[in-house]
Structures are given as C-alpha cells and as structure tokens.
Amino acid sequence: MDINSLHKQFYELYGNKNQSCLTFFAPGRVNLIGEHTDYNGGYVFPCALQYGTYLVVRLNGSDRMYFSTTNFDQPCSVPEKGFSQQDNTKWVNYPLGVMDQLVKRGFEMKGMDLLFSGDVPNAAGLSSSASIEMVTAVALNDLFDMRLDMIDLIKIGQKAENEFVGVNCGIMDQFASGMGKSEHAVYLDCSTLEYEQVPLVLGDYKLMISNTNKRRGLADSKYNERRAECESSVASISQKEPVSALGELSYARFLDLQNLIPEKRVRRRAHHVVSENRRVLDAVKALKQSDLVLFGQLMYASHDSLRDDYEVTGIELDTLVEEARKVEGVLGSRMTGAGFGGCTVSLLHKEALNRFITEVGSAYHAKTGLKPDFYLGEVGDGARKTGSKG
C-alpha cells in the first residue's frame, strides 16, 4: 500500500492539508486449522496476514463523522452521537459498531474524517470485517488516548460484530488481527483467551491462499444456524454431564456422550467441533516438532470434516482442495473461514507454486466456470499505528 498516495486521496476528499492526519493498519487473517471451534469454546490456530485495512483519520472540529473508502463509492456521514445501522452503506456498520461499543463504555466520540482502504479480498473469508473493526478500535484508542489494552480492543471488535452488525461470530478473527506476530501463528484457547505465539518455521514450504471468487451469500445465515445446532448439542449432553460448550469435551468423552444428541445431523456438527479441537492440538505439536507432513495431513482431515460433518464447504471449496491433493509438493489444503465460498489455504513446496497455480486454476475453472485468485500467505504483525503522518 502506498501511504503517500492514500494521504493524497484523504486530502482530496476532505481538504485542509494544514491539518495533519494519522494512519493505522490492521491485518486480515488466515486460519491454519481450527474452524468453527472458536464460538464453541475451543482452540484455533490462525496467523495475521500482510493484507489488511488501512485507516487515515483526523478530528475535524464538527459534530459529524465522515466515512469514505477506496474500495467502494459509498461515502457516508453520521452524527457523533446516537448511532444506528446504515442500510445503504453496510460497510460503515463495522466501524460504527466499534464506536457504539466505546460509547457504551463511557467514551465520547467527536467529529472526524475517516478514509479506509483495504487490500483483503472482500467476502473471501480472510476477515476483512475484523480488520476494519480492529483498525478502527486501535485508531480511536490512540486518537482519544483511551489507554485500553489490545485484549480490550479485541473484545470490543467482537461485540461490535455480534451486537451492531448482527453476526454471531467468535473471537478468533479479531484476536488474530490484534495479536498477530510476523512469522508466527497464534494458538488460542477461545474459552480462556490464553494464547501462545508459535514460530511458523516452514523452511522451503509456503502458504498459498486460493480464492474461489464465489460470493459467500449463505455464510452469515448458515453460520448462525450452525451455532444454534452446536448449542442444541450442548443442551442435550448437559442432561447427563454439565457442560457449557463443546470445547470442554475431550474426543473420547464426546464419543461416550454423543448418543444423548437425538438428531444425527446435530450429532455430526458436534463431532466436527470436538474432533477439530483435537486436530488443533495435534497440529500445534506437529509444527513445534517441524513435522510439516503431519501438519498437512491434519489440514486435509480438517477439510474432510468440514465437508462431511459440518457441511460448510460446497463444490467450489471442495474442488480447490481435491485439485490441490493432485499436485506434487502439496502437503495439505483446507477451506478457511466460515465456508460456502471464500478461500482455501494450502501448504506446499516453493518449487510447486507455479505448477499449483496453473494446474489447480485450470481444473477449477473447467469444473466451476469460475477463475480463482491466488495469494502467497505472507505472515505479518497485528493491528498498529503505522507511524506515518499526513
């Protein structure tokens, strides 16, 4: 991202070059393994990407806040008090939700000019929404000297999405965006928020992100449906054993109790969560032992479970993973994110990169009629002030 160019756009929009602005950044994330476990009190293993959302901001001395983005021609202005959901400029609800949470905590907003610019592919499942929330939270924390720590800001970002946007997400996306570290993945226990930044030592191997370019129209509604199914399974198991989340159960204990769940479909949802939790533990151990082959096998197993038990993949994601399995030098591949479109993440040898793009891209287009995009998954730091003043 060319920060100088972004500052130029800011002043073209808002004028008054004599009044300086501040610049912040928050990354998107890719989850290496541990999907749909975060809202079940389980384990996840994401890393922050070098792609993300930039925010240029300054106070404007007025009683209104002006929102613009380089990604859409959808500017918006709202009063500094009394926030309400925006129907015509839905992207603004993510930063507004953060502001709403801060006001509820006793902080005051003031008139300001804001310009957002993201290079996370929208609706790709790489958490563009969390990066918007986190860049807003970090910027306002600095701008108004709120002195909140990063964990507080992460919780605010999640609550903004839950309560203002209306997506009942877990905390993983905001946590990865806030606590990411270059060349590390974040091993997180979502029930306690205990975490470890694990070195991501891949040697001659790389992370490749493949975007299906299918719009994730079902993702939010099906996401909330899966949450409800998991809560139903917990209610059934609680008849015999007091549990508040599936993440509290070991795999062996779940097998003992699974017949308490009357519906087979709901039982399969729960089976995915508990087995995925175990895969995260195994994957973290494999990475620490530099066993990338086992790590890749666990990625494949994760995708199979998401396809068969949790049913959140679809032909596009399944095709990308099936074709990745055929390419020599690929150790593992899986969908990442909520599903129903979005992206896969693959672990492959650096010499297989071009072959992967050519062979997987061609086979995917032939089967789905869509052309995928490919990105190297370069791992970066978490949300921060960039140090650039305009």
Q: Is the sign of the CA dihedral 242, 246, 248, 254 positive or negative? A: positive
**243 pLDDT more than 60:** yes
In this prediction, residues 325-340 reach a mean pLDDT of 95
- CA 23/CA 211 separation, integer angstroms: 28
Tokens encoding 255? 């097998």
Per-position DSSP letters for 79-144, written without gaps between them: ESSS----SS-GGGHHHHHHHHHHHHTT-----EEEEEEE-SPTTSSS-HHHHHHHHHHHHHHHHT
- 15 in Cβ contact with 112 (< 8 Å): no
Q: What is the pLDDT of residue 125?
A: 65
- The model's confidence at residue 216, banded by pLDDT at 50, 70 and 90, is low
Instruction: Please compute the mean of the pLDDT values over residues 320-325 and round it to a whole number.
Output: 98
Q: Over range 220-237, report the average pLDDT.
A: 91
The pLDDT, as a whole number, for residue 259 is 97
d(CA 70, CA 341): 24
- Determine contact, residues 65/77, Cβ cutoff 8 Å: yes
pLDDT of 217 reads 60
Residue 364 · residue 372 · CB < 8 Å: yes
| Structure confidence at residue 37 as a pLDDT band (50, 70, 90) | very high
- The mean of the pLDDT values for the chain is 94
Question: What residue ranges do the domains of the chain occupy?
Answer: 3-199+380-389
Is residue 388 predicted with pLDDT exceeding 70?
A: no
pTM for the complete prediction? 0.92
Give CA–CA dist 385/178, Å, rounded: 12
Q: What integer pLDDT is reported at residue 11 of this predicted model?
A: 95
* Per-residue pLDDT at 268 exceeds 80: yes
Active site (annotated) includes residue 173: yes
Q: For 274, how many CA atoms within 13 A lie in the half-sphere containing its CB? A: 22
Say whether pLDDT at 8 is over 60. Answer: yes
Task: Check whether 218 has a pLDDT greater than 60.
Answer: no
Say if strands 64-69 and 112-118 run parallel, antiparallel, or are unpaired: parallel
pLDDT at 222: 85
3-state SS class at 324? helix
What is each CA distance from 327 to 115, 348, 363, in whole angstroms?
42, 9, 11
What pLDDT does residue 241 have? Answer: 94
- Residue 122 confidence (pLDDT): 66
Chain centre distance of CA 219: 13
Residue with the bigger pLDDT between 25 and 222: it is 25
Give the residues across from 384 on adjacent strands: 25
Q: Which tens digit of pLDDT belongs to each residue from 112-159?
A: 999 999 988 766 667 789 999 999 999 999 999 999 999 999 999 999
- pLDDT attached to residue 124: 64
Amino acid letter at 138? V
369 within 8 A of 247, measured Cβ to Cβ: no
Q: Residue 389: pLDDT above 90? A: no
**In what helix (H) or strand (E) does residue 197 lie, and over which residues does it extend?**
strand 194-199
Query: Taking 80 as the threshold, does the pLDDT of residue 4 lie above it?
Result: yes
> Catalytic one among 173, 220, 256, 381?
173
Q: What percent of the chain has pLDDT over 70?
A: 97
Tokens of 198: 């694990």
Comparing 11-15, 99-103, 169-173, 349-353, the range with the smallest average pLDDT is: 169-173
170 band by pLDDT with thresholds 50, 70 and 90:
confident
pLDDT of residue 44: 98
Helix 93-104 to helix 128-143 angle (10° resolution) is: 40
Supply angle C-alpha 70, 158, 40, rounded to 5: 130
| Amino acid in position 32 | L
Paired tokens of 328: 């020599």
Which residues are CB-neighbours of 319 under 8 A, at least 6 positions away? 363, 364, 367, 368
Would you state the pLDDT for residue 128?
87
For tokens 């949450």, the residue is: 227
Per the document, the length of the chain is: 390
Mean pLDDT of the region 66-72: 94
- pLDDT confidence bin for 390, thresholds 50/70/90: low
Alpha-carbon distance of 92 to 74, in angstroms, equals 9
Mean pLDDT of 70-98: 92
Alpha helices in the chain (DSSP H): 3-14, 93-104, 128-143, 150-159, 172-179, 219-237, 251-257, 264-288, 292-308, 315-325, 353-368
Please, which residues have CB within 8 angstroms of residue 206's CB and are 6 or more apart in sequence?
Answer: 347, 348, 349, 350, 353, 376, 377
Question: Is 2.30.38.10 the CATH classification of the domain at 3-199+380-389?
Answer: no
Residue 340 clears pLDDT 70, i.e. is over it: yes
Average pLDDT over residues 363-373: 97
Which residue in the block uniquely carries the two structure tokens 């226990």?
Answer: 189
Distance CA 249, CA 375 (A): 36
The SS3 call for residue 149 is coil
